[in-house]
Structure formats: structure tokens, C-alpha cells
Amino acid sequence: MCVRWLVAGTLALMSAGPVGLPQSTYVRTDFCEILRNPEKYTDKEVTVRATYEYWFEVSALYCLGCMDKGRVWLEFSEDLDDESERILKRGPGAGIENLTITGTFEQGIPTVT
């Protein structure tokens, strides 16, 4: 059976800036809202709650409330804070987690495979 994947963009997890410096502003929104209106959030820093599925060659965010809209590839930035990096390394090699994350939404070319 073919699994259909819609890669609407990438959310790169951003680490917090140094203490004392102004933090960038971000939009807290529903993950399904981003999938319905990706152009509105492109290149913006957003905070969302979504389900994260990861295993061999899979790193996807999705929401059960709008599975028909597809999944979004999740890529972690290389400048993660130490605590986040430790958590990622401690985790199993595969799983499904509910996450609240902040990152930059980058819209790519949607593809279906």
C-alpha cells in the first residue's frame, strides 16, 4: 500500500537566545492552521503542539485533527541547547511523541509519494 506524504515545509527547532538579549517574537498557533494556510506562516517563528513520529528516514509532525492535510518534515537545528540535545540522544531510535515546539516554518514544494 502506498503511503501518501505531503511535505508542506520544515520546522527547524530553534534554541533560545542568550539571557539578557531580546527574544524574537513568535506566533503560537494550531498546527492544523499552519497546514491550511502555509503561506501565512512561511519564514515565521511559530510554536505548535503536534504529534512527532520518528524512525528510520522519518521525522514527521502531524495532527490527528487534520490528517487529511498531510505531514510536515521536522528538522532540528544544529545549535540546539544542551538539554534538548541530551533528551534527543537519550530517546529510543523510533517512536511517537506529543511535542510543543518553537521553530521557523519553511515552506517547500509539496510532494506526494
Query: CB of 103 within 8 A of CB of 26?
Result: no
Residue 67 in any domain: the answer is yes
Mean of the per-residue pLDDT values of the chain: 76
Domain count, the chain: 1
Spatial separation of the C-alpha atoms in residues 7 and 39, rounded to whole Å: 14
Residue 35 in any domain: the answer is yes
Residue 43 in any domain: the answer is yes
80 compared with 4, residue with greater pLDDT: 80
The reported pLDDT for the residue numbered 78 is 83
The residue segments making up the domain with residue 79 are 9-107
| pLDDT band for position 77 (cuts 50, 70, 90) | confident
Length of the chain: 113
78 compared with 65, residue with greater pLDDT: 65
Tens digits of residue pLDDT in 11-34: 443 333 334 444 557 789 999 999
- Is the per-residue pLDDT at 50 higher than 90? yes
Residue 39, exposed/middle/buried by CB under 10 A (0-12, 13-18, 19+)? Answer: exposed
